[in-house]
Structure 1
Amino acid sequence: MGSGIMMCCNGVLFSRHYRITSGALEPQINGGSTGGGLSTRWKFLEQMDMELSKGNERAALSLVKDLQGKPGGLRCFGASRQIPQRLYTLDELRLNGIETASLLAPVDSTLGSIERNLQVAVLLGGIAAWNVFGLSPQEILFSSLGLLFLWTLDAVYSNGGVSFLVLDTIGHSISQKYHNRVVQHEAGHFLIAYLLGILPRGYTLTSLEALKKEGSLNVQAGTAFVDFEFLEEVSKGKVSATTLNRFTCIALAGVATEYLTFGYAEGGLADINTLDRLLKSLGFTQKKVDSQVRWAVLNTILILRRHEKTRVMLADAMSAGRSVGACIDIIEKTIGDADL
């Protein structure tokens, strides 16, 4: 599988190699039904999972498109209604209950607090070791220089991957709020992508899980997509308005989900920054960037509000490690025709 778009709680639009979480669909997802429509969808999604697990993205997408919009098939893929695209003012966003300051300027206070506590623990541990073992000033200096060297090595060669791996692992272990935020964030990316017609190809919820799958420290948790069409357009320097609209909404879906769930966003600052760089690389002026982002924020939040129940169930499925096909099946089962 080639490089592609990846959206995560701490970054978006990263070019990375990515593999799907493998696993077949569980029979209980469809309640054991063997009805014609459900049975057909079941077989297609199971086959799609197999193709994705083998890295056959084009074959997986072809299966999805074959079943798109058909009775008993995939009614929801790319079927979500959207608002007209125009320049929306900040006042219009506020009228829809959106405060951009709480959404577009995320600060990860949870991991920041854990990092500060670790620094204090290391300092206290050093003082305790000094008292217990009677270390000399020179030994303390050499130990400090050694830690500084390791920290610098991590920052230079793995872009802080080791440090973030430690913080993320501790965060998921001791903070249910942090774990839930990451899960909700990724569920937002997944749901918006599917409803706008971009097929998710896999997801991870922790840096440790990403490390096990990728074998690289420089890969964070996130959701990846079948995005070869987007990459082909980018390589030509001509991204269509439809494609750009989709990926702008997907990029902001994580912070939008956090905002709706918690009242503010903590993760996703890199999502926003990378999206901003992408738009400017396409020649967007700041006014045009603002217009694109405001429309996408409002459009994404309205879709998420409309399908809150589905997002919650999807987050539970992702937290349980269900396959992409199983997650899609949940979306299809819980969204009625009148809701699209």
Structure 2
Amino acid sequence: MAFSTLPAFRSHYNNCFIFPKIRASSISSSSSSSSAAAPGVDLKTLQSAIAKKDSNAVKEALDQLSEVGWAKKWSSQPYVSRRTTSLRELTTLGMKNAENLAIPSVRNDVAFLFIVVGSTGFLAVLAGQLPGDWGFFLSYLIGSISLVVLAVGSVSPGLLQAAIQGFSAFFPDYQERIARHEAAHFLIAYLLGLPILGYSLDIGKENVNLIDHRLEKLIYSGQLDSKELDRLAVVAMAGLAAEGLTYDKVVGQSADLFTLQRFINRSKPQLSKDQQQNLTRWAVLFSGSLLKNNKVIHEALMAAMSNKASVMHVVRLLEFK
């Protein structure tokens, strides 16, 4: 998920506008009867705002659709209030290995490096059996590949991370994890009233794109208050919560934790280490509870987003599932 130019809420896997009024005299078309607008409701304004990537217009359109009774789930959870949260509560909710949720996973990194080192080492031994100088030259050349990979990781971590993300696709659960993770960000952001402009499940580009210009200004100025920080924390931890409710080990939390830390650093008053830890636990608990209460919708979003459905289609599905 991204707030304009701010860092994206990604899985580890990575002006002035005039707001047109919604006309109540026409009926918008829909690709499916289950997701069609109710009679007398026009969705063209919302579709146009999404297409233009105009977050203010998207929010305005959804607010008006909510007033006429169409967007019932939009901003249906506007009030979040942080409280002291224990690991036991996370476990009771159904989080697996709750004590390790906030520890960045190194599963993909270790697997990638193990394959690189193991395969090059094996090939170097085989090459060493060749006669003459060929055996020495090839074994030395192949064996140095591991050193080159480590050097690239030290100088340009982004290049190595891209390779690791590509390699991660070979894990059988990887695509499902991505869909579960990003669908959770989409669903929780929508329920909390944050406009969604786009998303991607492509490897290395996983994100749900959010822009809220008012929040953006607060973040850049370092003036996030506790109320707004709580909302952003819940959205940031949604992907982690979704994985934690399903898998024994969370893989896609690194970028989300980094983003949450940046929000914390941009807030006032500053939080102590203990308060930061509690905020993370509470945000996981709150988002996890919402996901459990909307499990059918979450799984429907996973399927739709995996099939590259449009944002408009996903919103319709969310409202009528």
Shorter-chain TM-score above 0.5: yes
**How many pairs does the alignment contain?**
302
Aligned positions of 1:57-136 closer than 5 A: 57-72=55-70, 74-80=71-77, 84-98=81-95, 100-110=98-108, 112-131=110-129, 135-136=134-135
Change (3 A) 1:152 1:66: farther
Deviations 1:314-337 (A, max 9, x none): 011111111111111111112xxx
For 2:165 and 2:29, locate their aligned partners in 1 and report how far apart those are by CA, in whole Å. 30
1:176 is displaced (CA, Å) by: 2.7
For 1:281 and 1:195, locate their aligned partners in 2 and report how far apart those are by CA, in whole Å. 24
Tell me the SS of whatever aligns to 1:223: strand
Taking structure 2 as the reference length, the TM-score comes to 0.80
1:284 is displaced (CA, Å) by: 0.9
For 1:35 and 1:224, locate their aligned partners in 2 and report how far apart those are by CA, in whole Å. 27
Aligned positions of 1:23-62 closer than 5 A: 27-31=30-34, 33=36, 35-36=38-39, 40-41=42-43, 43-52=44-53, 56-62=54-60
For 2:275 and 2:100, locate their aligned partners in 1 and report how far apart those are by CA, in whole Å. 21
Aligned positions of 1:232-311 closer than 5 A: 232-280=217-265, 282=267, 283-311=270-298
Change (3 A) 1:85 1:69: farther
Taking structure 1 as the reference length, the TM-score comes to 0.76
1:149 is displaced (CA, Å) by: 4.2
More displaced stretch, 114-123 vs 193-202 = 114-123
For 1:11 and 1:176, locate their aligned partners in 2 and report how far apart those are by CA, in whole Å. 13
Runs of 4+ in 1 over 6 A off after TM superposition: none
Deviations 1:132-173 (A, max 9, x none): 58625355445655764465346424x233x3333323332x
Deviations 1:278-317 (A, max 9, x none): 4245321112213322321221111010000100000111
Tell me the SS of whatever aligns to 1:6: coil
Contact 2:181 2:240 in 1 (8 A): yes
Contact 2:9 2:255 in 1 (8 A): no
1:256 is displaced (CA, Å) by: 0.3
Contact 1:11 1:269 in 2 (8 A): no
Amino acid at match of 2:230: N
Change (3 A) 1:60 1:288: same
Amino acid at match of 1:238: Q
Change (3 A) 1:118 1:80: same
Aligned positions of 1:140-289 closer than 5 A: 140-141=139-140, 144-145=143-144, 148-149=147-148, 152-153=151-152, 155-157=154-156, 159-161=157-159, 163-172=160-169, 174-207=170-203, 210=205, 221-280=206-265, 282=267, 283-289=270-276
5+ unaligned residues in a row in structure 1: which ranges?
Answer: 13-24, 211-220, 335-340
For 2:125 and 2:304, locate their aligned partners in 1 and report how far apart those are by CA, in whole Å. 46
Contact 1:76 1:195 in 2 (8 A): yes
Tell me the SS of whatever aligns to 2:198: strand
Change (3 A) 1:276 1:133: farther
Change (3 A) 1:95 1:168: closer
More helix by share: 1
5+ unaligned residues in a row in structure 2: which ranges?
Answer: 15-27
Change (3 A) 1:151 1:291: closer
For 1:179 and 1:11, locate their aligned partners in 2 and report how far apart those are by CA, in whole Å. 9
Change (3 A) 1:77 1:107: same
1:192 is displaced (CA, Å) by: 0.8
Change (3 A) 1:145 1:254: same
Deviations 1:236-281 (A, max 9, x none): 2211323211110111111100011224412213322442354245
Amino acid at match of 1:202: G
1:230 is displaced (CA, Å) by: 1.9
Tell me the SS of whatever aligns to 1:224: strand
Change (3 A) 1:203 1:115: farther
Tell me the SS of whatever aligns to 1:203: strand
Tell me the SS of whatever aligns to 2:173: helix
Bigger radius of gyration: 2
Amino acid at match of 2:111: S
Contact 1:87 1:291 in 2 (8 A): yes
Contact 1:48 1:64 in 2 (8 A): no
For 1:243 and 1:11, locate their aligned partners in 2 and report how far apart those are by CA, in whole Å. 27
